[in-house]
Amino acid sequence: MLKGKKSLSDAELIAILIGSGSKNESAVSLSKKILISANNNLNELAKLSVEELTKFHGIGTAKGIAIITALELWKRRQLETALELPKVSTSKGVFHLMQPIIGDLQHEEFWAIFLSNSNKVIAKHRLSKGGLTATIVDVRLLYRKALGTGCVGVIVCHNHPSGKLIPSAADMEITQKIKDAGSTLDIKLLDHLIITEKLYFSFADDGIL
């Protein structure tokens, strides 16, 4: 109340959620232990199930559900922000736009973001959904949607569930194919991002485009 919510650590915020610890451990100490098990990473913590949380002495079903519920609300807030159509002018901006949508998926998805001449996002569309390691992109579908939006530029991105940021030969090939097709239609491919849970790789920043 006195210092405000931003003054609290992650462990202290979780301690407020669970309300109490165990007989021999405070709520803050117990929360720190839970965070350590998730490498002090809220994204990792959000992946834990009720069963995994209740393995900690002092965390019952109700407390486990409270933690999961709070983290789900946080994720939905991120998603709502990502669903807004902002202006993007850097690869980092694209990452922040798309990471909440595809960053922690266990399968690959390929998306296209269509931009106006002032770099304002007109629309974004998922073009394909793949398995654990690959997805197939129809370049004709991409530019059919692009022409429908009246965009002048396009940024494509896909996620790597493996966490690896190095572009594959297939990634390089589809990037060139999209770039060549866009040149014919006078729609510029501005970037291609590979997105993981925490990091990204930009073809434009790396000088590949």
Give residue 133's pLDDT: 58
Same domain, 107 and 193: yes
Give residue 1's pLDDT: 81
For residue 1, being part of any structural domain is answered with no
The answer to whether residues 110 and 98 touch, using CB atoms and an 8 Å cutoff, is: no
CATH number at residue 146: 3.40.140.10
**Predicted TM-score (pTM) of this structure:** 0.62
Give residue 83's pLDDT: 62
Same domain, 76 and 104: no
Q: How far is CA 12 from CA 26, 49, 122, in A?
A: 11, 21, 40
For residue 31, being part of any structural domain is answered with yes
pLDDT, block means (10 residues), the chain with 209 residues: 86 92 91 93 89 94 94 82 74 94 92 93 91 75 94 96 90 94 94 95 94
**Residue 168 domain boundaries:** 86-202
Same domain, 21 and 98: no
CATH number at residue 41: 1.10.150
Same domain, 55 and 92: no
Same domain, 24 and 126: no
CA distance 188 to 153: 5
3-state SS, one letter per residue, for 39-90: CCCHHHHCCCCHHHHCCCCCCCHHHHHHHHHHHHHHHHHHHHHHHCCCECCC
Give the H or E element holding residue 112: strand 109-115
For residue 185, being part of any structural domain is answered with yes
